[in-house]
Structure 1
Amino acid sequence: MRIIVLSILLAIFLSACNTSRPLTNLNDHNIEYLVDNGETLEDVKLSILRAGQSLGWEMTPLKPGLIRGKLNLRAHTAVVKIPYSMQSYSIIYVDSVNLDYDGKNIHRSYPRWVNNLKVKIDDFIASR
């Protein structure tokens, strides 16, 4: 009985130590309901740039409809590309440093960073 209890406790402890989560990209997040009639693609671009910068992301426009975002936190780096239009945008993983990406899973903080970016982008688009 004692061995069973210790085995269960060890399994719980080891699962709590798991620092990775499945990597999922944000694809074609609808923003049509956030964009006002008078807004332009440039307004959407500026909202994305300002939202990312407000969270510490280095945002670089690459061409119309595409922004590169880079977040450096302590020893971690995440790089994403953000294709956007008047209807939607995506946040797509490109590269990382010290986030233990294995082709499927990534550090547990990465999804939170991407979700925070999504929420902030939506806020900036809606408040224009």
Structure 2
Amino acid sequence: MMRVIILSILLVGFLSACNTSRPLTNLNNYSIEYLVDEDETVEDIKLSILRAGQVLGWKMDAVKPGLIRGTLHLRAHTAVVDIPYTLNDYSILYVDSKNLDYNGSTIHRSYPRWVNNLKAKIDEYIASR
């Protein structure tokens, strides 16, 4: 009986470790008003986002005023996000991916970490301007 319990616990642990998917959630209209100094401009926000992404290995492209597209290539994985921004907020929105097992609702477990690291670095750069 004890052997069955131990094997069951090990099996559950193994199966949960094999789950590589997480729900995909976008960062929508994340307020940065508390990070922005009164003399900062939208151009300062743009530069902070571009630099933050570049430091983390993202290829950052200014698509048009108020919108940056970030692309991250890691090994065989690619993630593409759009980052619309204003002086008050920004978003990080999923656009596309390769080899991240996106199925319309879940994505590879690394993607949320990459986006969270990008958010943290953007905040750091905005606050330090």
Shared fold (TM-score, shorter chain, > 0.5): yes
Map of 2:108 onto structure 1: 107
Equivalent residues in 2 for 1:45-124, closer than 5 Å: 45-124=46-125
Mean Cα deviation higher: 5-14 or 69-78 = 5-14
The one-letter code matched in structure 1 to 2:78 is T
TM-score norm. by structure 1 comes to 0.96
Say how many residue pairs are matched: 128
Q: Distance in 1 between matches of 2:4 and 2:55?
A: 51
Map of 1:127 onto structure 2: 128
Map of 1:9 onto structure 2: 10
Q: Distance in 2 between matches of 1:4 and 1:118?
A: 42
Structure 1 residue 24: Cα displacement: 0.6
Could you tell me which runs of 5 or more consecutive residues in structure 1 were left unpaired when the two chains were aligned: none
Q: Percent identity?
A: 76
Could you tell me which runs of 5 or more consecutive residues in structure 2 were left unpaired when the two chains were aligned: none
The one-letter code matched in structure 2 to 1:43 is D
The one-letter code matched in structure 2 to 1:45 is K
Aligned residues: CA RMSD: 0.9
TM-score norm. by structure 2 comes to 0.95
